[in-house]
Amino acid sequence: MRMSRIRAVVAAGAGALVVAAGLVVGAGSASAAPSYVALGDSYSSGVGTREYINDGTNCMRSNYAYPKIEADRLGATLSFQACSGARTGDVLSNQLGTLNSGTSYVTISIGGNDAGFSDVITQCAKPWPYTCTSQISNSQSFIRNTLPGLLDNVYNQIRAKAPNARVVVVGYPRLFNGETCNLLARISSQEEADLNTTADILATTTAGRAAAHGFGFVDSRGPFTGHAICDDVEWLNGLSNPITESYHPNRSGQQEFATLVQPLLTAGVSAPSAA
C-alpha cells in the first residue's frame, strides 16, 4: 500500500474517532430538566379545583393547580410542596427541604392564612345579627404591621437555600364584585367592599416585600376583575359543597395564574442583595 493511501486511511479513522467522541460527549452533557419548587398555601396547592392527588397528605394538591400546569409548560421537574392551610411558619418548617443551589424556579403564595382571611370570611358569612367589622379591621392591622416581617423571614430563607433560582410571589385576587348570588352566605355589599380592600392591602404589602428581595410578583387583582364570585364567568368559587372548595380559584382561575406566572419565570429575576 502506498504511503499516501496509508495516510488517508489513518486520517479517516482519526476523523471517525473524533466524531464518535463528540457524540459521546454531547450525549453526556445534555442538560437535565430544570428544577421547580412550588411553595405556599391552598392557592398554590390547587384547592378549589375539586380533584386532588392521593399523596398521603391533607395538602389537597391538584394536577389542575398552576404549579403543575407551569411545570409541564417549562419542561421542569416539580417538587410540589404547597399545602392547604399553610402559614409562613409552615413554609419554614415543612416546605423548604428540596430547595438548593440547583433550583431553577420557585413560586409561592403565602400570607392569607397568617392574616386569618379564611376565618374572617367565615365570620362575614354568618347570618344576621353577626357582623365581621372587627375581624376585618384586625386582619388589616395584622397585614400592615406584622405580616411584612413574617414574609421577610420566608423570602430570606428561600434566597439563602436557592441562591440561583428565579422566584415569583403570587398574590391573591379580590373575591367579590358587589353582587350577592350565594343566598346561604350572607355577606353584605359593605363587607364585600371591605374584604376587597383587605385584599388590596395584602397585595400591596406582599408586592412591597417581594420587590425588596428582588422577587417577581404576580398581581392577580386586575386580571381577575370581571371573573370574581357572582360574575358571569367565575374564576373563583363562591360558597361551595364541600365548603373547603369555597373562595378559592377554580380550574379556570388556576389556568390564569399559570399564564400570569410564566413570563416572570421565563424572563428571569435578578438575584437580590440581602433584604
Q: What is the CATH number of the domain that holds 205?
A: 3.40.50.1110
Asked if residue 3 is part of any domain, the answer here is yes
Provide the domain limits for residue 198: 34-267
Asked if residue 145 is part of any domain, the answer here is yes
- The structural domain count of the chain equals 2
Q: Based on the domain organization, do 21 and 97 belong to the same domain?
A: no
Q: Based on the domain organization, do 62 and 3 belong to the same domain?
A: no
Residue 170's nearest CA partner among 267, 48, 270, 259 is 259
Which stretch of DSSP H or E encloses residue 199? Answer: helix 189-212
Q: Based on the domain organization, do 152 and 249 belong to the same domain?
A: yes
Sheet holding 77-80, edge to edge: 77-80, 35-40, 103-109, 166-170, 216-218
Asked if residue 272 is part of any domain, the answer here is no
Asked if residue 179 is part of any domain, the answer here is yes
Could you identify the residue written with the cell 386582619? Answer: 139
CA atoms within 13 A on the CB side of 44: 32
Predicted confidence at residue 32, as pLDDT, reads 86
Letter string b/e over residues 48-83, b meaning 16 or more CB atoms within 10 A of that residue's CB: bbbebbeeeeebbbbebbbbbbbbeebebebbbbbb
DSSP 174: P
Q: Based on the domain organization, do 145 and 253 belong to the same domain?
A: yes
Q: Which segments in the chain show pLDDT lower than 50?
A: 1-29, 268-275
Asked if residue 48 is part of any domain, the answer here is yes
Q: Based on the domain organization, do 16 and 54 belong to the same domain?
A: no
Q: Is 227 a catalytic residue?
A: no
Could you tell me if 112 and 118 are in contact, meaning their C-beta atoms sit under 8 angstroms apart?
yes
Q: Based on the domain organization, do 139 and 177 belong to the same domain?
A: yes
Q: Based on the domain organization, do 10 and 71 belong to the same domain?
A: no
Options 35, 104, 220, 248, the catalytic residue: 248
What proportions of the chain, in percent to the nearest 5, are helix, strand and coil?
50, 10, 40
Q: Based on the domain organization, do 147 and 258 belong to the same domain?
A: yes
Asked if residue 58 is part of any domain, the answer here is yes
User: For the chain, how big is the Rg over CA atoms in Å?
Assistant: 24
Residue 46's nearest CA partner among 239, 219, 217, 237 is 237
Q: Based on the domain organization, do 112 and 182 belong to the same domain?
A: yes
Q: Based on the domain organization, do 62 and 149 belong to the same domain?
A: yes
Q: Which residues pair with 249 in a beta bridge?
A: 236
Could you tell me if 252 and 261 are in contact, meaning their C-beta atoms sit under 8 angstroms apart?
no
Could you tell me if 74 and 31 are in contact, meaning their C-beta atoms sit under 8 angstroms apart?
no
From CA 40, how far away is CA 255, in angstroms rounded? 17
Q: Based on the domain organization, do 66 and 180 belong to the same domain?
A: yes
From CA 219, how far away is CA 231, in angstroms rounded? 19
Q: Is 42 a catalytic residue?
A: yes
Options 4, 35, 42, 118, the catalytic residue: 42
Residue 57's nearest CA partner among 96, 86, 92 is 86
Asked if residue 202 is part of any domain, the answer here is yes
Q: Which residues pair with 77 in a beta bridge?
A: 35
Asked if residue 253 is part of any domain, the answer here is yes
Q: Based on the domain organization, do 119 and 132 belong to the same domain?
A: yes
